[in-house]
């Protein structure tokens, strides 16, 4: 199988290296800048379990140089997705599958949810440009449960977790889900095939909805967020609101916010991906993690005052630092 990783950063490099090292696939990368140069010089590189995993890669800056693929894994940050979607057409043949491995609510999430209507979610796909570039029928859903970082371009450091949940956006299990699931399992991932992937997306989002932006605002690791009673109370309130929203769109969560934080506390003192982005001066994924929840709640006519406050504060924080676009006037 010909596999292309679009965005060879912390998650893309993690997935790409393991698939390439497993030896079944020709795994290329669409990259740029220092990451492109590092991939060309060193190949795929992943530090995991005290050893360096390496594998060869063909890395290019333009999709036309790689040609049609069988599986395209998109692992860019949310703010970059619209531009990427407009550039990957040369990778897409009649039977190419596209698997986004990204944080937050994906652009396809509202498809088939009667309560949300037919319009694309403007927070993650303004004007529906992504949906037109990557048609719904191509998409395989993916939820990543792993923590990785990039200490230098082209080198991924694995911290914890090997979980990938994959499934059809429209629900149910299919032959292509089983095919990709077997490929990922062979590459060493803890792969789960989900018949209701939207619910898995919402569950992960529910866990990240507060810790990501609050850590970005405060600069605190997750243990410190949970140790502050006022901050914790605010996070719990926002999670309860998101739980109510989820119930209305078929994504009920069978866990309390308090129980979810017990799991988070076991992970110890770690920096969320959004805090890492702040420290690196990268654009923040506010829209997919908080903005989409706010928009969905508005469409449903549900009041979410804590989520609204979180969105406003994080958005302003990021705008002041040039990490989020200014409001249109």
Mean pLDDT by 10 residues, the chain (329 residues): 96 98 96 97 96 97 97 95 96 98 95 88 94 95 94 94 96 96 98 97 96 97 96 97 97 94 87 93 96 97 98 98 85
Q: What is the CATH number of the domain that holds 150?
A: 3.40.50.720
Shared domain for 313 and 168, answered yes or no, is no
**Could you list the residue range(s) of the whole structural domain that residue 252 is in?**
199-320
Do both 203 and 61 map to the same domain? no
Cβ atoms of 35 and 153 closer than 8 Å: yes
Residue 328 domain flag = no
The 10 Å Cβ neighbour count of residue 85 is 22
Which residues are tagged catalytic? Answer: 204
pLDDT of residue 329: 46
Asked if the structure places residue 178 within a domain, the reply is yes
Q: What is the DSSP string of 88-138?
A: -GGGEEEEEEEEE--SS--TTTTTT-GGG-SS--TTTSGGGHHHHHS-GGG
Does residue 299 sit in the same domain as residue 226?
A: yes
Residues 95 and 184 in one domain: yes
Based on the fold, state whether residues 249 and 311 are members of the same structural domain: yes
Same domain, 173 and 206: no
Q: Are residues 295 and 224 in the same domain?
A: yes
133 with 250, same domain: the answer is: no
Pair 154, 220 in one domain: no
127 and 205 co-located in one domain: no
**How many distinct structural domains can be found in the chain?**
2
Residue located via tokens 């040369």: 90
């Amino acid at each position: 199988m010909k596999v292309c990783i679009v965005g060879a950063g912390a998650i893309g490099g993690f997935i790409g290296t393991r698939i390439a090292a497993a030896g079944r696939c020709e795994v290329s990368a669409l990259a740029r800048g220092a990451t492109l140069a590092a991939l060309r010089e060193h190949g795929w590189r992943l530090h995991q379990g005290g050893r360096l995993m390496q594998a060869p890669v063909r890395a290019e800056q333009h999709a036309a140089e790689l040609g049609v693929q069988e599986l395209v894994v998109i692992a860019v940050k949310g703010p970059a997705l619209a531009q990427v979607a407009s550039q990957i057409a040369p990778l897409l043949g009649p039977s190419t599958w596209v698997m986004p491995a990204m944080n937050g609510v994906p652009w396809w999430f509202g498809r088939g949810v009667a309560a949300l209507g037919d319009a694309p979610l403007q927070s993650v796909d303004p004007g529906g440009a992504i949906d037109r570039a990557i048609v719904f029928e191509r998409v395989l859903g993916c939820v990543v449960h792993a923590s990785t970082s990039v200490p230098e371009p082209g080198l991924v450091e694995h911290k914890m977790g090997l979980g990938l949940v994959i499934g059809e956006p429209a629900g149910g299990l299919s032959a292509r889900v089983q095919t990709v699931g077997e490929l990922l399992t062979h590459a060493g991932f803890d792969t789960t095939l989900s018949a209701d992937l939207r619910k898995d997306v919402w569950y992960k989002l529910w866990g990240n909805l507060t810790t990501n932006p609050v850590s970005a605002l405060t600069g605190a690791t997750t243990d410190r967020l949970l140790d502050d009673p006022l901050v914790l109370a605010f996070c719990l309130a926002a999670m309860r609101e998101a739980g109510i929203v989820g119930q209305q769109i078929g994504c009920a969560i069978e866990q309390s916010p308090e129980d979810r934080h017990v799991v988070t506390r076991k992970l110890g003192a770690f920096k969320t991906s959004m805090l890492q982005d702040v420290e690196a001066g990268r654009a923040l994924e506010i829209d997919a993690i908080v903005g989409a929840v706010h928009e969905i709640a508005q469409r449903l006519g549900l009041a979410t005052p804590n989520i609204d406050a979180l969105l406003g504060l994080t958005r302003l924080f990021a705008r002041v630092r040039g990490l989020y676009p200014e409001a249109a006037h």
